[in-house]
Chains A and B, each alone.
Chain A
Amino acid sequence: MTTTSSKYRVIGTRPVRPDGVDKVTGRAVYGADVVLPRLVHGKVLRSPYAHARILSIDTSEAEAIPGVLAIITSKDLPGATASANLGEGGEVNLAHLSANVLARDKVLYTGHAIAAVAAANPHVAEEAVRRIRVEFEELPPVMDVRYAMTADAALLHDTVFTDTAGEKASEPSNVAAHLIFEEGDLEKGFSEASIVVEREFVTATVHQGYIETHNAVAEWRSDGQLTVWCSTQGAFPVRTQLSHLLQHPISQIKVVPAEIGGGFGGKISVYLEPLAAILSKKTGRPVKLMMDRAEVLMATGPTPGSYMRVKMGVNAEGQITAAEAYLAFEAGGYPGSPIGAGCMTVFAPYRLQNVRIDGFDVLVNKPKSNAYRAPGATQAEFAAEVVVDELCEKLGMDPMEFRLKNGAKEGDWRAAGPPYAVVGNLECLEAAVASDHWKSSLEKQGADGKLRGRGVASGYWFNVGLMSSCSGRLNPDGAITLLEGSTDIGGTRASIAMQFAETFGVDYDQVRPSVVDTDSVGYTEVTGGSRTTYATGLAAHEMALAMKQRIRDGLATIWEVPAESITDERGTYTSGDKSADLKQVAQLFAEAGMQAQVSVTVNPTGHGGAFATHIADVEVDPDTGKVEVLRYTAVQDAGTAIHPSYVEGQMQGGVVQGIGWALNEEYVYDERGQLRNASLLDYRLPTTLDVPLIETIIVEVPNPGHPYGVRGVGEVPIVPPPAAIANAIYDAVGVRMLELPMSPPRVWKAIASQNGA
């Protein structure tokens, strides 16, 4: 389970994280914990309808309630028409983002924000929200992706025209985009196949499920300085969004990232921050807004539900000859589902010659979708991995052998994107084959008529690089202050400090990392995209090199020797008979009126993609349809595991989210488009009792694009579980589950139908 990074001094060890004591004692300050003098509280009015025109809004009754200080609607948001690159999601349509923050002429999903109130306390604010009178013209809700694509469905926008590979259609549509990826000769490929499997799949909308709800505190001062504290994966992207949405100079906006209680991609777009800002401007007071759980589920950014068709053909030797996918993702009320990423990952584990992928970004009356851990890949690879499993069955071929035979590796071309650089797909498969889990036998019969089975699935996520900054200085006691802008969601303060310590030649506890605000460090992209340990770690490494150089240059002046004559070893700098440890360096510098202080920004493109192979053992109760996960092993290529405990943690956390996605999580809408389960009672996250211990095997195929070989690890672990479990269910009871979640009523029904009941 542990790695073999013994060639490093700090990297590969498991030190305690620097923010840990605060987090186990309740002292850490999350967004909802921020208090300011004269703070007032806000609440949001949300649409009761899935699809409607707003005819009028009357706030007079609400304004009259004692304690109500201000009420805002979309007319308080400046018009926004440009688009901006906000990071992981690519180009963002700011008009859509603005209307998502506060609806303009239409509401496009139940829970869509319409107005916001600031009042003396949250209870009064809530009362005021309930007294705002809105007149609606109800429109027919469009709740299903396939229906949305037909001519019958009401149009959500008359300004959205299908973009097919760059060409815009002339009539508006609910299909915002049609992506096409094509190579080779599909017809020829299928004609060469001796076995072809084609299956249809449906997956439900699923939420990231972070335990901390969204929050924002804003203080808009009379001099125009706006400070925002919020739970966010990226303080800089929030700042950029606010500047655009509020049409306020970006240099006058400071975003302070509070500690964050989970994000998984869902805390990148702004929701409450602009509302808090405008309410603060209007009231002259700092304003705090928090979402409750129902609001989070109804009105933030879940990952799309989907309809998919995957068709693959293999020849008699078990080689894939052709692969075809039709992927339709529910974007929600505004365009921008991760359909591109879905297309780019669907067949990623395989070497292909003949392939065609059609992807559709489809509008439906559900909340605007957002990133959720390897966005789009879990849906797409679920479909492909289940088809692969069926191909293996028909071939009579072991699923690991099939994947090794067809597995993509360095230099292989792929359907969407450049050829693979150094990747660890085959290494993961080999490690999986060698694992205790794979070698163990599984009794088919459990107790009381239950049946057991084993399934495997591969996964891939490409990860990203993007911009990160670090700055730091040497303290008089020889310790180094390291300032970075990556919110610490999963222990990255430690992994970043470890990389600095490794390069700089000091012990881990001589580094004092801090996550700071947008005034105090250079531009840093989101903590997301599996980029933080890679890119911000790279920035820390570069910063260590820069600081060493700064010290050498300073000592060269002080000692009057050439800088090249100065060597360093474990924090001691030497030239001839002169030598200084870091504490002495600091003193020498101070006496000379200098400070060892550097800033670095990186924008690396050498990020490495991550492969994974997962093995799941399940037990199915055919009488009820209940599926238990008995044993689960996640094998994953981490490049180099900087802090193995946190790499394991990413793997285990992603796996359990994937198990929830596979078995029980789904948005349930009624025919009127009302979300029936906007609560953690009926939106069913896995509990401690629902999962076993998760075995992890970290494979290390170092990424040449990083000095320590780091690959992003956070996202790929959520990709294989639904397919691994579906394949295990098939092994147990002989039914192919093609719909997520594989909840007991569905599993039971599938078994009963098969038995001719």
Chain B
Amino acid sequence: MITMTFDGVAIAGAAEIPYARKAQGITTTSLLASVFVKVLATAEIAHNEVDGIAVSSFTLKPDHAIDVAWQLGISPRWSMEDTHGGACGINMLQHAARAIQVGDANVIVILAGDHFQPSDFKDLVENYNRTTRDYLTPLQFGGPNALFALLTRHHMKVHGLDRSDYGLLCIAQREWARRNPLAVYRSELTLDEYLCAPVVADPLCRYDCVPVVSGANALVLTRGDRTPGKAVGIRALRCLYNPDHQEGDGLQTGLKSISERLWQDAGVGPAGIDLVSVYDDYPVMVLVQLADLGFIPDGDMRGFIRNRLVPRTLPVNTSGGQLSVGQAGTAGGLHGLVEAVLQLRGEAGERQIARARFAAVSGYGMVQYRYGMCANAVLLEGSH
């Protein structure tokens, strides 16, 4: 029988270690080890109970997931390595949940993290894939900022937005970050400060671009009967990659095609969601994903920003998101999931959403020629 639900699987814990800019004296593997120890402590699971591991990292090479297992002193009977960037968290969650359902593993730790030296980052953005290496790097644009500047400019035209609209989104996320002790940027951000910030690639300014940091995130999954109490369940999860073969305008992701089925699977709609984590590599992509998921049914982006994000009546990216917390490479693909699980377990401290039961999380990434190819989403339910 084909199992379509995610019954019998529980997210038993989530952890993030503090992100840091220009961190010294650490390695990617040491970051992954630190978050591994932290997530097991959070979930009250013993080291020797772990029998599955999933790892995503841009800077792990020449090592692989199994080398990490060796470093961590575990003997997994299930192992995977993921290369989906901003979509890695939900992609690994999908595979790990199915592995637990069929009994291939009982306790799986999902890890993502990166430590960047300046040369690592340059190497990553210049050789992200073959298309980047052959056609984008010769243009000497050094990364995705210019691509998403083009996308943002197009989004502004289509929706009649101006820079202050994206600024208000960044400010709303910064307001959440001010309540998150792990955020790299916690000071108040004003609209004047945003509008006067140095331009990176017009119309994008410094605050539209994620600060590059080193860090790591983790989840631990178990069988549902293994973890009573604060376990978080998966109500629905769907992915769609390369939906338009890079022939669209980039203002619609795979989420647009999967959202109707996702909400059907979950038995709950956007109106029933208590918080949302959206992959925020750039403000424009926050709006694109929220629209694709059905959170902006009338298409009025400006009204949505002012009436839902600014007053925080719809809590979006309650950690502050990568725009304020920082982007730790592939850890960014797990960051929003970790935040949602912390919220649903009542572990979000000063930024805790009262009585949070349902969370929607989306992942996005892997820029091919012009924009990201990957999008996925999961709907989580807390039980505490």
Q: Do A and B come from one complex?
A: no
